[in-house]
A and B are shown apart, each in its own frame.
Chain A
Amino acid sequence: MATTTRTPTDMPPPVSASGKTAGRAGDAVFSGLSKGSGILLLVIMASIAVFLTYRAAIALSQNEGNFLTTFDWNASANPPVFGIAVLLFGTVVSSVIAMAIAVPIAVGIALFISHYAPRKLAAPLGYVVDLLAAVPSIIYGIWGALFLVPQLAGLNLWLDEYLGWTYVFDKSQPGVARSLFTVGILLAIMILPIVTSVSREVFLQVPRMNEEAALALGATRWEVIRMAVLPFGRSGVISASMLGLGRALGETMAVATVLSPSFLISGHLLDPGGGTFAQNIAAKFDEANEFGRDALIASGLVLFLLTLLVNGAARMIIARRKEYSGANA
Chain B
Amino acid sequence: MKLQRKNMLRASALGALVVSGALVLTACGSDDNTGTGGNASGKPSAAAGDIKCDGAKGKLLASGSSAQKNAVDLWVKNYMAACSGVEVNYKSSSSGEGIVAFNQGSVAFAGSDSALKPEQVEESKKTCTGGQAINLPMVGGPIAIGYNLSGVDKLNLDAATIANIFNDKIKKWDDEAIKKLNPGVALPSTAIQHFHRSEDSGTTENLGKYLKAAAPDAWPHEAAKKWPAPGGLGASGSSGVATQVKQVDGAIGYFELSYATAQNIKTVDLNTGAPAPVKASADSASKAIAAAKITGTGSDLALKLDYTTKAEGAYPIVLVTYEVVCDKGNKAETLPTVKSFLGYTASDAGQKLLSEHGYAPIPAEINGKVREVVNSLS
A residues adjacent to B (C-beta < 8 A): 44-45, 48, 73-74, 76-77, 137-138, 145-146, 150, 173-176, 178, 246-247, 249-250, 252-253, 256-257, 259-262, 272, 278, 281-290, 300, 303-304, 307-308, 311
Contact = CB atoms under 8 A, between A and B. Distances in A.
Contacts, number: 125
Best-buried of A145, A150, A176, A283 by chain B (most CB within 10 Å): A283
Nearest to A262: B234
Interface stretch (B131-139, B236-244, B350-358, B361-369): B236-244
B202 interface: yes
A60 B139 CA distance: 38
A252 B14 contact: yes
A174 B225 CA distance: 25
Contact of A256 (B94, B191, B199): B199
Contacts of B1: 45, 304, 307-308, 311
Given A250-B7, A285-B11, A286-B18, 10 more contacts: A48-B5, A138-B17, A174-B193, A253-B17, A272-B234, A282-B10, A283-B200, A286-B97, A287-B202, A307-B1
B233 A287 contact: no
A-B pairs, 6 with minimum CB distance: A287-B200, A283-B199, A250-B7, A282-B14, A260-B233, A260-B234
Nearest to B13: A253
Given A145-B240, A150-B247, A257-B236, A286 B199 contact: yes
Contact of A176 (B100, B193, B225): B193
A137 B10 contact: yes
Interface in B196-219: 198-202
Q: Which of B8, B12, B17, B201 has the most CB of A within 10 A?
A: B8
Interface residues of B, number: 44
Contacts of B236: 256-257, 283
Contact of A250 (B6, B15, B100, B201): B6
B185 to A, nearest CB: 23
Chain B interface SS verdict (over half): helix
B100 A290 contact: yes
Contacts of B11: 252, 278, 281-282, 285, 300
**Residue of A74, A256, A290 ringed by the most chain B CB atoms within 10 A:** A256
Given A287-B95, A287-B225, A290-B100, A253 B10 contact: yes
27 contacts: A45-B1, A48-B5, A137-B10, A138-B17, A145-B235, A145-B244, A146-B247, A174-B193, A178-B234, A246-B3, A252-B11, A252-B13, A256-B14, A256-B198, A257-B236, A260-B198, A261-B234, A262-B234, A283-B236, A284-B226, A286-B96, A287-B96, A287-B225, A288-B200, A290-B100, A303-B7, A308-B1
B189 to A, nearest CB: 13
A286 B243 contact: no
Interface in B79-101: 93-97, 100
B235 A260 contact: yes
Nearest to A178: B233
Nearest to B100: A290
B4 interface: yes
Contacts of A74: 224, 226
Contacts of B3: 246-247, 249-250, 307
A258 to B, nearest CB: 9
Contacts of A137: 10
A289 B96 contact: yes
B201 A287 contact: yes
B157 interface: no
B93, B200, B202, B247 — which one has the most chain A CB atoms within 10 A of its CB? B200
A11 to B, nearest CB: 28
Contacts of B5: 44, 48
Contact of B244 (A73, A176, A261, A288): A176
A284 B199 contact: yes
Nearest to A290: B100
Contacts of A138: 17
A48 B2 CA distance: 10
Interface of B: 1, 3-8, 10-15, 17-19, 93-97, 100, 191, 193, 198-202, 224-226, 230-236, 240, 243-244, 247-248
A278 B94 contact: no
Contact of A278 (B10, B201, B230): B10
Contacts of B248: 176
A300 B10 CA distance: 12
A259 to B, nearest CB: 7
Given A250-B3, A307-B3, A286 B15 contact: yes
A304 B12 contact: no
B4 A48 contact: yes
A44 B1 CA distance: 10
A247 to B, nearest CB: 7
Contacts of B231: 173
A145 B233 CA distance: 13
A304 B11 CA distance: 14
Contacts of B191: 174
Contacts of A44: 5
Contacts of B201: 287
A314 to B, nearest CB: 13
A175 B235 CA distance: 13
B15 A282 contact: yes
Contacts of B226: 73-74, 284
Contacts of B243: 145-146
Contact of A175 (B7, B193, B200, B247): B193
Contacts of B93: 286
Nearest to B194: A175
B10 A304 contact: no
A287 B204 CA distance: 12
Contacts of B12: 285
Nearest to A311: B1
A283 B198 contact: yes
A176 B8 contact: no
A44 B240 CA distance: 36
Contacts of A250: 3-4, 6-7, 10
A257 B226 CA distance: 17
A290 B93 CA distance: 15
Contacts of A283: 198-200, 236
A311 B4 CA distance: 12
A201 B94 CA distance: 46
